Amino acid sequence: MKRLLKNTRDWTSRIIIFGVCGFISAFLLMSGYESIYNRSLPFVHTLDPINLSSLSATYGLDKGSFDNQKLFGSFGRPRTLKLPERNSRFTVAAPIQQKDGVWLARANVLHLLVPEAPRDGNIGVAILYCREGFRTVSDQNLPKVGSNIFMDTDKDWRYVYRISATKIVSDSVPYVASDAGAVSKLIISCNDPVQHRNVVVEANLLSVQGVDQ
């Protein structure tokens, strides 16, 4: 009887271990599929769909803008961004479009779209979209109006923006930024598709300087 109980426990433990290992392997496989093929799968969340309809109603969003060097002006393509009161920097990555009208985002990355031509040699309008959350921007960690954002480029230049507004808006209403067109504009929009809202940070360009300044 004792041997039977021991064998039962051994087999139960093995089944649990094999099951856990199988689940982890399947999750890693699906996560890799999402990353390689830019497709969102249920329950994985390496990539999640993002609602950009409020921005696409105002701006012409084109995933190809990330590879169009002419849109970045004289100082290069952004690669990292630092928000005030944050120790770490965000990676600025290419936008991910699964199909027409369906955009995807990673959990802790800002995806860049550039819908307008440069202004005085600087990026005209930089739109950074993301998933709302504690690792990006949410209603709980909004930066303060009047503080600065630093965005570094691949040519070792640094865009310095001053935050002009922070908002929580519906993701179904066309978003119109406060933009007179005189200086470069930065818009960070983090989407929560469950609550159908965008957490938005607007900022205006203060200066462009070398990264070692």
Give the pLDDT of residue 210: 93
Residue pair 94/62 in contact by the 8 Å Cβ criterion: no
Mean pLDDT of the chain: 84
Which of 115, 121, 117, 125 has the alpha carbon at shortest distance from 76?
121
Tell me what percent of the residues of the chain surpass a pLDDT of 70: 78
DSSP conformation letters of 102-149: EEEE-TTEEEEE--S--BTTB-SEEEEEEE-STTS--TTSPPPTT-EE
Task: For residue 62, give the amino acid letter.
Answer: D
Is pLDDT at 33 greater than 70 in this prediction?
A: no
Q: Which domains does the chain have, with CATH numbers?
A: 1-45 (no CATH), 48-210 (2.40.260.10)
Strand partners, 131: 191
Mean local confidence (pLDDT), 42-68: 84
Give the pLDDT of residue 32: 43
Tokens, residue 131: 């998933």
Is pLDDT at 11 greater than 70 in this prediction?
A: no
Q: What are phi and psi of 119, to 5 degrees?
A: -120, 115
Alpha helices in the chain (DSSP H): 2-37, 53-56
User: Which tens digits make up the pLDDT trace of 104-159?
Assistant: 999 889 999 999 999 999 999 999 999 999 889 999 999 999 999 999 999 999 99
Is pLDDT at 40 greater than 80 in this prediction?
A: no
Lowest mean pLDDT among 51-60, 98-107, 109-118: 98-107
Residue pair 189/103 in contact by the 8 Å Cβ criterion: no
0.95 exceeded by pTM: no
DSSP conformation letters of 14-61: HHHHHHHHHHHHHHHHHHHHHHHHT---TTT-SSEEE--HHHHTTS--
Is pLDDT at 46 greater than 90 in this prediction?
A: no
User: How many whole angstroms separate alpha carbon 210 and alpha carbon 136?
Assistant: 26
User: Which tens digits make up the pLDDT trace of 179-212?
Assistant: 988 899 999 999 999 999 999 999 999 999 998 8
